[in-house]
A and B are shown apart, each in its own frame.
Chain A
Amino acid sequence: MVDVADAGARAPLPDLLSLAADFTWRTGADFRVEDASPLDVACDPAVIQLLRGARLDRLAQRTLYPAQGEAFSDLLHRQVPMRDVALSFVQRDGSVANFTLTGTPQDGGGYVGVGKVWSGRPFDEQHRGELVELLERAEANRNREMRLREEADVLLASLRALIQPSPLADKCADLFNLFSRLLRFDEALVVRRRTRDELLAVVATDPRLTGLQWPPGDVINAALMGEALLVEDLATVREWNDFPDIMRERFRNALVAPITIGNEAAMLVALHARPGFFEPSQLALMQRLSLIATQAFEVDEQKNVLINTAKLATLGELMTVIAHEISQPLSVIAMAVKNAKLALEAVGESNHGMAAERAIVDSKLDRIHDQALRAGEIISAIRTLAHPDRRTLGLRPVSVTEIMDNIRNLTEGSLRNRGIELICEAPPYCRALKANPVSLQQVFLNLVVNARDAITEYCKRRGEPTKGVIHVAVYDDGVSDRLVVEVQDTGGGIPADVMNRIFDAFFTLKEVGHGSGLGLAICRTLMTDMGGNIAAFNREGGAVFRLEIPTYVEEAAS
Chain B
Amino acid sequence: MNVASNKTDKKPTILVVDDDFDLRTELAELFGRVGYSVLEAANGIEAVEIARDQRPDVVLMDVGMPQLGGVRAAEIMTLLRHTEQVVLMSGNPEMVAEAASHRGLAPIVLNKPLSFDICRRVIDSLVKAGG
Contacts and interface: CB of A to CB of B under 8 A. Distances in A.
Interface of A: 320, 323-324, 326-332, 334-336, 338-339, 342-343, 346, 372-373, 375-376, 379-380, 383-384, 387, 389-390, 392-394, 436, 438-439
A331 B92 contact: no
A342 B112 contact: no
B113 A330 contact: yes
A327 B113 contact: yes
A324 B92 contact: yes
A334 B114 contact: yes
A335 B23 contact: yes
7 contacts: A328-B23, A328-B113, A335-B26, A338-B26, A372-B113, A379-B113, A438-B97
B106 to A, nearest CB: 11
Given A335-B30, A380-B111, A394-B98, A323 B116 contact: no
Contacts of B92: 320, 323-324, 383, 387
B91 A334 contact: no
Given A324-B92, A330-B112, A346-B33, 12 more contacts: A320-B92, A323-B112, A328-B113, A329-B22, A331-B112, A331-B114, A335-B27, A339-B26, A342-B30, A372-B113, A379-B113, A393-B94
A335 B120 CA distance: 11
Task: Label chain A's interface by main secondary structure.
Answer: helix
B14 to A, nearest CB: 14
Contacts of A384: 94
A381 to B, nearest CB: 11
B124 interface: no
B103 to A, nearest CB: 14
B93 interface: yes
A346 B35 CA distance: 13
B115 A339 contact: no
Contacts of A327: 91, 112-113
Q: How large is the interface on B (under 10, 10 to 19, 20 to 34, 35 or more residues)?
A: 20 to 34
Interface string B30-61: 10011000000000000000000000000000
A339 B33 contact: yes
Contacts of A387: 92
A339 B64 contact: no
A43 B112 CA distance: 117
B20 A328 contact: yes
Contacts of B89: 331
Nearest to A372: B113
Interface in B75-102: 89, 91-95, 97-98
Given A335-B30, A339-B30, A394-B98, A376 B93 contact: no
A320 B95 CA distance: 11
- Find the residue from B22, B33, B91 having the highest chain A CB count within 10 A: B91
Contacts of A343: 33
A328 B62 CA distance: 10
B119 to A, nearest CB: 9
Can you list the 7 inter-chain pairs with the closest CB atoms, starting with the nearest? Answer: A376-B113, A335-B26, A330-B113, A327-B112, A323-B91, A331-B113, A327-B113
B94 A439 contact: yes
A332 B23 contact: yes
A327 B22 CA distance: 13
A329 B113 CA distance: 8
Contacts of A335: 23, 26-27, 29-30, 114, 116
A338 B116 contact: yes
